[in-house]
Chain A
């Protein structure tokens, strides 16, 4: 575990924006107001079924990309397990919270950034895998309502979310 001193030093010396921040800023500014409203509206609608959607996305990811299971040896990730539902809910609620004000994503996600960088240390390549699995869950749940425009907006948002999450990694 990195010391607090090391973290402070890194923050103070990173005068230049990291690539991931640049990507996030680009992604966030490339979201039109209409897209941001659409994203916010979809996640508001899904908040009541957060556990169901989150667990579904995780199960898809575990089935399609078995390497991702290695991060969950401490949980019971069988279908319908309470661990899976609780964890899925946590993830969806975090995504939904970020969607409330996308321009503030770095602020909203600050604690999660620290968690992922210093404790969880999930290889950020896996974020793409969960994002894709999440999009498939949304498609199954929303059907035709998950229009190409909504899909594009959501893909951009999840990319931005992942970029911010990985920001403190190095």
Chain B
């Protein structure tokens, strides 16, 4: 059981109410594919990922970004049981998609940076820390079903 402070609960819900999923999701995924190009290995079927411009304008990348945000929203709605919420997704990433779990935090870091750019000064060190903790819990839950 993760112990969330009141501040963390309020902050996480507040962040997710403020950000535009249609913008943040695609931006985070494309940043991940651009900044850490080896992550492209999991997206061979996505078409043109040749350079930053191609990745940013790729519709499959954008669509996947939204899927990721919807997944994260489930965690926001179930903060007291993120582990159980992501059991199936964890199995999927492990057995079917075969994603190296060390990559999860790469996407997490890109998401932090995109949210930071969106919220500017509102993304204070304390708000940022709450978000990093949330990401760490999500990543840990996604790692759980790997063996």
- Which among B31, B113, B126 is the interface contact of A136 at CB below 8 angstroms? B113
Whether the pair B35, A56 counts as a contact (CB closer than 8 A) is: no
In which size bucket is the chain B interface? 20 to 34
For B30, the closest partner residue in chain A by CB is A148
Instruction: Tell me the chain B residues, 117-147 only, with Cβ under 8 Å from chain A.
Output: 117, 119-121, 123, 125-126, 128-129, 132-133
Whether the pair A143, B117 counts as a contact (CB closer than 8 A) is: yes
Given A148-B31, A151-B35, CB of A139 within 8 Å of CB of B56: no
Q: B73 an interface residue at 8 Å Cβ cutoff?
A: no
B contact patch SS: helix
Q: A146 an interface residue at 8 Å Cβ cutoff?
A: yes
Minimum C-beta distance from A121 to chain B (A): 25
- Which among A63, A79, A142, A148 is the interface contact of B35 at CB below 8 angstroms? A148
Interface size of A by CB at 8 A reads: 22
A contact patch SS: helix
Residues of A within 8 A of B123 (CB): 136, 140
A37 CA / B93 CA spacing, docked (Å)? 39
Q: A62 an interface residue at 8 Å Cβ cutoff?
A: yes
Given A64-B132, A148-B34, CB of A59 within 8 Å of CB of B125: yes
For A137, the closest partner residue in chain B by CB is B116
- Which among B56, B117, B128, B133 is the interface contact of A144 at CB below 8 angstroms? B117
Q: A83 an interface residue at 8 Å Cβ cutoff?
A: no
Binding site for B on A (CB under 8 A): 56, 59-60, 62-65, 79, 132, 135-136, 139-140, 142-144, 146, 148-149, 151-152, 155
